């Protein structure tokens, strides 16, 4: 019990923090918010996947990727391609020149579904590609960069450049990708209408549960020797290398893992919002995601989720009223966090909640009210 608690939840305090997050996402938000606002939270939660990936990659591994948006986008595009093919059946597209193909292909004088769209007719293959395509791209980039010992600022710039290239490629290949509009008008998933209210609730819960699952898995990664090596590499890469570790393979792995969880967020975005476009692939979204992680706390998996929720909530509130000021505010927020709260919200919580240990308080109240054995949460954590 204690071992599982330590390995998957980050100890007693970590388990309580995760439980609070789970209750907030799975109980409080759905009961409290209307479907429109809940849909917004669902969208922010998909960004939280990327923020969590950056905690692993940047906070723990010291590898700053300014191109996580491309993995988010690729995961989203893979899912969108499947949904688009399903939405483009010959009956609903009978007014097109070539019925049975996606509308934007028809507008671009393409008469048959291109070869790389073919696998997306199958849902199992689509799920596989959602995870595999971004991971494979991350592997190629990681292999090329880390084997040559490219790191730090150079790596950040290169990832940013690749994200830009990818977004330009998607915009340019309008007939194959839907261009700047992206892939829109998605309707059903295996015959199940994803636009109904009930579907929105179901997808929201799947999304939030997946995020909790990803956090638990990531806690396991960080609590293993691998996690300790990540910190060690961030601190003294040469020392790790001269302790007999192949540093590049560790970096490639964590970069691929981060890409994969970003892609899950992207796929869930497509399902919930009903479209995917290049505006989630390029430089700006990638940098925004770094800001979410920084605001939440780049060392804290759970902090990153709150960072994504809060910054996006602020963005929505602000951009509803002062759309032109938002970007300046966000830039200012980023500078302020880096200067005054380098560990983000999680750091503020840690420093100011020191005297008030929530885990102990909850266990104490639990014992008091239910007279149960408080040790069931593990006494040696």
Site residues, another protein (CB under 8 A) = 221, 224-226, 228-229, 231-232, 234-236, 238-247, 249-250, 253
Task: Identify the CA nearest to 350 among candidates 166, 108, 259, 342.
Answer: 342
Q: How far is the CB of 83 from another protein (least distance, A)?
A: 34
Task: Work out how close the CB of 233 gets to another protein at its nearest, in angstroms, rounded to a whole number.
Answer: 9
Q: Are 256 and 135 in contact (CB under 8 A)?
A: yes
CB of 61 to another protein, least distance (A): 13
| Per-residue three-class SS string for 243-301 | CCCCHHHHHHHHHHHHHHHHHHHHHHHHHHHCCECHHHCCHHHHHHHHHHHHHHCCCCH
Which lies closer to another protein via its Cβ, residue 162 or residue 215?
A: 215
Alpha carbon of 17 to those of 12, 301, 330: distances in Å? 9, 10, 27
Closest distance to another protein from the beta carbon of 361 (Å): 25
Q: Are 301 and 215 in contact (CB under 8 A)?
A: yes
Q: Provide the minimum distance between the beta carbon of 62 and another protein in the complex, in angstroms, as a whole number.
A: 11
Residue closer to another protein by CB (options 191, 244) is 244
Q: Which is nearer to another protein, 82 or 253 (CB)?
A: 253
Pick 3 or 364: Cβ nearer another protein: 3
**In whole angstroms, how close is the CB of 342 to another protein at the nearest point?**
13
CA nearest to 57, candidates 186, 218, 265: 218
Residue 55, C-beta contacts closer than 8 angstroms, at least 6 positions apart: 218, 293, 296, 297, 298, 299, 300, 301, 303, 304
The C-alpha angle with vertex 94 and arms to 93 and 98, in degrees rounded to 5, equals: 80
* Angle at the Cα of 354 from the Cα atoms of 7 and 20, rounded to 5 degrees: 55
Of 187 and 350, which has the nearer Cβ to another protein? Answer: 350
Q: Which is nearer to another protein, 149 or 195 (CB)?
A: 149
């Amino acid at each position: 019990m204690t071992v599982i608690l330590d390995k998957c939840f980050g100890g007693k305090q970590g388990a309580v923090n995760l439980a609070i997050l789970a209750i907030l996402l799975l109980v409080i938000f759905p009961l409290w918010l209307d479907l429109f606002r809940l849909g917004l939270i669902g969208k922010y939660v998909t960004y939280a996947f990327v923020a969590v990936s950056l905690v692993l990659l940047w906070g723990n591994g010291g590898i700053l990727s300014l191109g996580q948006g491309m993995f988010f986008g690729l995961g989203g595009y893979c899912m969108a391609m499947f949904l688009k093919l399903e939405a483009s059946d010959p009956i609903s597209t009978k007014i097109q020149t070539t019925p049975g193909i996606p509308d934007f292909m028809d507008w671009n004088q393409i008469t048959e579904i291109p070869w790389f769209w073919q696998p997306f007719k199958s849902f199992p293959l689509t799920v596989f590609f959602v995870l595999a395509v971004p991971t494979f791209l991350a592997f190629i980039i990681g292999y090329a960069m880390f084997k040559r010992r490219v790191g730090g600022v150079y790596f950040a710039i290169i990832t940013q450049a690749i994200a830009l290239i990818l977004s330009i490629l998607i915009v340019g290949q309008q007939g194959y990708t839907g261009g700047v509009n992206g892939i829109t008008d998605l309707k059903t998933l295996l015959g199940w209408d994803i636009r109904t209210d009930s579907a929105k609730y179901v997808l929201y819960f799947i999304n939030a549960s997946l995020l909790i699952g990803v956090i638990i898995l990531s806690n396991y990664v960080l609590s293993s020797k691998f996690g300790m090596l990540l910190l060690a590499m961030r601190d003294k890469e040469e020392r790790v290398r001269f302790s007999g570790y192949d540093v590049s393979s560790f970096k490639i792995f964590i970069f691929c893992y981060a890409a994969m969880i970003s892609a899950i967020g992207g796929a869930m975005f497509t399902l919930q919002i009903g479209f995917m476009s290049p505006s989630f692939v390029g430089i700006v979204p990638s940098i925004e995601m770094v800001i979410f992680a920084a605001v939440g706390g780049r060392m804290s998996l759970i902090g990153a989720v709150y960072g994504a929720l809060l910054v996006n909530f602020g963005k929505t509130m602000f951009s509803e009223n002062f759309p032109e000021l938002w970007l300046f505010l966000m830039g200012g927020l980023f500078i302020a966090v880096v200067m005054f709260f380098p560990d983000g919200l999680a750091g503020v919580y840690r420093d100011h909640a020191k005297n008030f240990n929530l885990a102990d308080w909850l266990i104490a109240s639990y014992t008091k009210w239910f007279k149960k054995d408080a040790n069931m949460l593990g006494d040696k954590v």
